[in-house]
Amino acid sequence: MSDYVFQFSPINERLTRTEKVYASIKEAILTLQLKPGAALVEDDLARQLGTSKTPVRDALLTLERDGLVIRVPYKGTYVAEVTFQDDKEVLELRAVLEGLAARLAATRITPEDLQQAERYLDAADEARCQGRLKEASTLGAKFHEVILNASDNRRLFPLVHNLDAQMRRLRLLSNRYEDRLEKSAQEHRQILAALQRRDPQAAEHAMRDHLESVLRDLQMAEAGLALPAQASGDGR
């Protein structure tokens, strides 16, 4: 006799298939295999993914809620364009959430994590100086990941990871962030120094300053203005 006061419905295998279809299409969008503005035809996607149209349709509805797909009445479904407004909204949220992560991490981060964070920054500096800009940016992202993990707040993880997934497409679409790597490197060092001092307020302030600085530089680029000497895109 079950102790549950309600009955579970049987697991629908189609839902699992929908999740797989969703993950495949999302990855193709985030890595620019499906470029902004590309038409998403259910029949074609179903044939390529080896499935029926139903899980494709369900996946596209979820991607539309994610803001990665747009549906135009009487025309079709398309990969959403990336705009400055996307940059702005993502960076505004990241500044708040990752600022909180840095504040929490300041009192929770282990000596081993601090050493790992510094190793990532050292490796990023070396990669940048040798012209391996994509690698330098990836190492910067790993530095942010150390801080997020050290915050030890499980609720933050999905929020920040969702935003970071969206940033993947923004980075690939713009070469502006590559010119900003040196400036970001200096800002990352300031964040690390605050963490090493175990100073929550300074860590949060440094993280927010870093991401708000990125936003200011993007605003200048959007306006067609020359950026300050070490500035332009994310560098994370």
pLDDT in tens, the chain (236 residues): 445 455 545 545 556 788 999 999 998 998 888 999 999 999 999 999 999 999 999 999 999 998 889 999 999 999 998 888 888 899 999 999 999 999 999 999 999 999 999 999 999 999 999 988 888 888 999 999 999 999 999 999 989 988 877 777 776 665 455 567 889 999 999 999 999 999 999 999 999 999 999 888 878 777 765 555 443 345 55
Largest CA distance in the chain: 72
Sequence-separated (6 or more) residues with CB below 8 Å from residue 167: 90, 94, 234, 236
Q: Report the alpha-carbon distance of residue 231 to residue 221 in Å, rounded.
A: 10
Q: Report the alpha-carbon distance of residue 78 to residue 37 in Å, rounded.
A: 6
Burial 89-104 (b: 16+ CB within 10 A, else e): ebbebbbebbbbbbbb
* CA neighbours closer than 13 Å in the CB half-sphere of residue 100: 13
Provide the pLDDT for residue 1: 45
Provide the pLDDT for residue 197: 98
Provide the pLDDT for residue 233: 41
Provide the pLDDT for residue 231: 36
Q: Report the alpha-carbon distance of residue 168 to residue 68 in Å, rounded.
A: 12
> Which residue in this structure is represented by tokens 């300053």?
209
Packing angle of the helix pair 156-173, 84-108 (nearest 10 deg): 140
DSSP letter (8 states) at residue 154:
T
pTM for the model stands at 0.73
Tokens representing residue 30 in the block: 């985030």
Provide the pLDDT for residue 230: 46
120 C-beta neighbours (distance < 10 Å), count? 21
32-38's contacts with Cβ under 8 Å and 24+ in sequence apart are 32/169, 32/172, 32/173, 34/79, 35/79, 36/79, 36/80, 36/81, 36/82, 36/173, 37/78, 37/79, 37/81, 38/78, 38/79
Provide the pLDDT for residue 194: 98
- Of 32, 103, 21, the residue nearest 62 (C-alpha): 21
**Domains, the chain, ordered by start:** 13-79 (1.10.10.10), 84-222 (1.20.120.530)
Provide the pLDDT for residue 30: 86
